[in-house]
Amino acid sequence: MPFVKVVKNKAYFKRFQVKFARRRAGKTDYYQRQRLVVQAKNKYAQPKHRLVVRFSNKFVLCQIVRARMDHDEVIAQASSRELGRYGLSVGLKNYAAAYCTGLLCARRVLAKLGLADLYKGTETPTGDVYVPEEDEARRPFKCLLDVGLKPTTTGSRIFGALKGASDGGLFVPQSPKRFPGYDRETGKLDADFHKKLIMGGHVAEYMSAVAEEDAEAFAKLFAKYIAAGVTADTYEDVLAKVHATIRADPSDAPKKTVSAAAIEASKKFRKASRRNLKERKNRIQQKKAYRIEKVRAAMADGEESDEGEESDEE
């Protein structure tokens, strides 16, 4: 019988290392993160900044993040949930909404760092690759795109957020190869097609096609668009106004102040604190007294009714 080497022996298990918790849960690609976070030693502890783009079931989230030794620090963020303040309350997850969210995040972080006037970006989107020109006074704010676990397929909405951040004035290293409208054979980007998606042209075309084919399906699919007064003809104008409004005021929404009356009202639904021994005994005495009074009242009512029956018989 040939000799079989035991690989997983006692020494093997002594040297076994458990992977990071977020790797075990499948939440973080550490191979990717290391290359986005680790900085060269001659950069004098200057952290790398990342443009983090994430998609939920309904919204788009863009953040400017830098890594510290024990945590990630978020400098600025923007969500498509906020676009209602700027005039867009429907379609908060499509390519056009991702562009608006990236634009809002870029203008917000540049205003925070005092670079909003130096780097204004492209006020009218062209669909072509845009890289801000370096100013003599200060360099543009550079950040790297962090896609997380989402596949970087050509035409992905991630690149809509990237384009919005780039047009907003951020320096995000990019290539046109993953933008929608890029042709591999010719190696050129169709900027008009890309601009069409930025301005919601694909959504407007689909709205028109569904409206012509089936009115009931149109009313069902685009009920929120109809309620918001957005049509296929006005969708592009709505997005153009959103872009202008974001540039006019990219600041955070004011925090809601809670009144003292609302705080007191919320306390009614909180769990009562536990009673001590004296309070429990007092409560028992109150229950006994209440029951005794109830019995006496019932007995008194019974006696009155008996007297009334005797008087009737007489």
Which pLDDT belongs to residue 310? Answer: 62
Strand order in the sheet with 60-67: 72-79, 60-67, 49-55, 144-146
Judge whether 95 and 202 are in contact, CB under 8 Å. yes
Average pLDDT of span 293-306: 84
Domains of the chain by start residue, with CATH: 26-248 (3.30.420.100)
Look up residue 309 and give its DSSP letter.
H
Q: What is the pLDDT of residues 235-270, one digit of tens each?
A: 999 999 999 999 999 998 888 787 777 777 777 666
Beta bridge partners of 52: 63, 146
At position 7, the amino acid (one-letter code) is V
Residue indicated by tokens 């190696």: 187
Query: What is this structure's pTM?
Result: 0.78
Compute CA 231 distance to the chain's CA centroid, rounded to the nearest angstrom: 26
By percentage, how much of the chain surpasses pLDDT 70? 95
Instruction: Determine how β-strand 60-67 pairs with β-strand 72-79.
Output: antiparallel
233-242, Cβ contacts within 8 angstroms, sequence gap of 24 or more: 233/204, 235/200, 235/203, 235/204, 235/207, 236/199, 236/200, 236/201, 236/204, 238/87, 238/88, 239/88, 239/96, 239/100, 239/198, 239/199, 239/200, 240/199, 241/87, 242/83, 242/86, 242/87, 242/88, 242/100
Residue 174 tokens read as 């990019």
- Does 63 score more than 80 pLDDT? yes
Q: What's the average model confidence in pLDDT over 94-102? A: 95
**pLDDT digits 0-9 by tens, 106-150:** 999 999 999 999 999 998 998 899 999 888 889 999 999 999 999
pLDDT value at position 301? 84
20 token code pair = 């990071």
The Cα–Cα gap between 168 and 192 comes to 19
How far apart are alpha carbons 250 and 165 in whole angstroms?
Answer: 13
Count other C-beta atoms under 10 Å from residue 199's C-beta.
Answer: 22
Residue position matching structure tokens 């149109």: 218
Backbone angles phi, psi at 60, to 5 degrees: -115, 140
